[in-house]
Amino acid sequence: MHASDHSTLLNRETGLLAFNRRVQEKAENPDIPLLERLRYLCITTSNLDEFFEVRIGSLKNQIMERKSEPGPDGMTPQQTFERVSREAHDLVTREYQLFNDTLIPALAAKDIVFLRRSIWTEAQQVWVREFFEREVAPLLTPIVLDPAHPFPRLLNKSLNFAVSLEGTDAFGRSPKLAIVQAPRLLARVIRMPDEVSGHRDGFIFLSSVIHAHVSSLFHGMTITGCYQFRVTRNAELQFDEDGVANLRTALQGGLPQRKFADAVRLEVVNSCPDTISDFLLREFGLGREDLYQVDGPVNLVRLMQVPDLIDRPELKFPAFSPGLPRALKKQTDIFAAMRQQDILLHHPFQSFQPVIDFISQAASDPDVVAIKQTVYRAGTDSALMEALLAAAHRGKEVTVVVELMARFDEETNIGWAQRFEDAGAHVVYGVFGFKTHAKMALVVRREGGTLRRYVHLGTGNYHARTAKLYTDFGLFTCNEEMTADVTNIFSQLTGTGHPLAHKRIWQAPFDLHSNILAAIRREADHARAGRPAHIIAKMNALLEPQAIQALYEASQAGVRIDLIVRGVCALRPGVPGLSETIRVRSVIGRFLEHSRIFYFRNDRAADVYLSSADWMDRNFFRRIEACFPVLDRRLKQRVLSEGLRPYLNDNSQAWLMEADGNYRLRTPRKGSRRITAQMDLLRNLAD
């Protein structure tokens, strides 16, 4: 069997939904703190939103273009859509059953209550009315549907109400339907004062507030129904390279259209009559298969704020303080520390602050003459970006490679690009058609009459908030070969010419793919020669067919292969004659697994690489990625003992993948110790 045989590959979209089911299992787990279970439910919903915006949007485009060629898994776009539609409907049904039947009662038992309109006391009704009149009504714009008022353009994922009416208005009109859109700046969940709610933590939904007082928007008319709904739109942004003179200008023009792009899903409250649901489907150009009828708020993601509004530590994960590597505990001068040794950071167990300090110290150091950095996702409030701006204001040569096409962060990155330009920094947007996904920062410092380079390379974004939530590695080094490679990559991004051969770093789209394949095949050669051979690879997704085929061939040669793939994996493990020596697991824990680690035993060399790239077509061929070796023997052991082995030993949060693509949760054997990789790392690395 070969990877070209469709039976050897699994479907990407169904794999993504399977990952979402694993996340949903966390919300169902009674051993997890209650408010964290609510967070997991919100994460599931958020993931599903993105699935529709990106993957379903892409499938619908392919179907509309009448593409009928099967994908690598043998399924056509239409077949894939029909399958994932069924699975997505089941997933949504399960979400709301969990919310209504399990989480709501469990929260109520802790005196955390979502007060429904049907049970409001008189005092609560008075408070809600005053809140509506003061905070909500002035922002609402009811739009009646008639020849002078066509169906409005509704924002992607906005909360809306379809209001059915009876009666005649002051102009003699007899409208039957109106649309009310809730402004986005209003919180969807509102905390009610304790003395009014009668509970320790009482909340109401904005939808309930509007529903209760929607009649005040249509004076003299009779309201016969009010129904929440939400439309999800395709999030893809496409540009014609030949027609774009300035990417930022084109993006600024295209971003507003995303909010009103083609619809891919309609969610309605399950009390909504078919006549209104069908009307909305027609308006959005959708079919019945795109309709999701829900028993509760149409956007559970907005409940993500609730745990932060509740001061109940016992209902959340224990707080922790991230630690520091020993090299930085005794040396506050980060450049001096780097001259002594390479330094490895393991987030979130270890602090992201040294990365901020690296740029901050460079900005204030009179001997630093230049700073170059890639920006993929940084967030709207970033101390690191402010330090870069400060460096530019102080007259240092600052070059920032801003990836404008980082999905859903485009507006934020445009804002940073403008501020960097205003500060006098060199701002470039990489290479059109290739996302700059590599995480690199380069500092050039004058020392003793010569220039010395220092770099930070990472598996994750330069984003302080996600560094507290995602597992990632970062490496500080002033190794001359590594810093020369990074300098060359920056030269590619800002200039032009053929790529220079790198000494240490593997780079996409040039040699990362070929080097990965060569490393896999080298392990197969070792196995055939009777030498021990072992591959351990940790990543977010494994989809690229040639890499999968190489792994199959290595397995058939006798290589032991352990894959830790958080999300979607198209490889089938444990198939006799194909992949008997391959094991795949997915770890879903408190933190989002995000690091990419590649270990090749290579006889006794034990090669360890960290990377920004997953093993996907886009990462290998359509992105600029960096895959860098860990050269220091001690740090190499740290990566193995912190980034790989704990996850292979995890028997509590690891899901083992079956050959058919299904997953089963690994559980401790009777009498054996419960091993939870992330919790063990917190104990060992955090302060």
Q: Kindly list the catalytic residues.
A: 437
Angstrom CA distances, 68 to 65, 262, 290, 570, stand at 9, 21, 20, 20
Three-class secondary structure of residue 603 per DSSP:
coil
C-alpha to C-alpha distance for 282 and 291, rounded to whole angstroms: 11
Please check whether residue 535 is in contact with residue 520, taking contact to mean a CB–CB distance below 8 angstroms.
yes
Three-class secondary structure of residue 385 per DSSP:
helix
C-alpha to C-alpha distance for 540 and 460, rounded to whole angstroms: 12
Please check whether residue 505 is in contact with residue 626, taking contact to mean a CB–CB distance below 8 angstroms.
yes
Q: Are strands 177-181 and 470-477 parallel, antiparallel or unpaired?
A: unpaired
Neighbours of 366 (CB within 10 A): 9
What HEC string does 462-511 produce?
CCCCHHHCEEEEEEEECCHHHHHHHHHHHHHHHCCCCCCCCCCCEEECCC
Angstrom CA distances, 343 to 338, 446, 595, 633, 681, stand at 7, 21, 17, 12, 18
Length of the chain: 687
Q: Which helix (H) or strand (E) holds 207?
A: helix 206-213
Q: Which helix (H) or strand (E) holds 453?
A: strand 450-458
For residue 175, whether the previous peptide bond is cis, meaning omega lies within 30 degrees of 0, is no
Three-class secondary structure of residue 264 per DSSP:
strand
Q: Is 241 exposed, middle or buried (0-12, 13-18, 19+ CB in 10 A)?
A: exposed
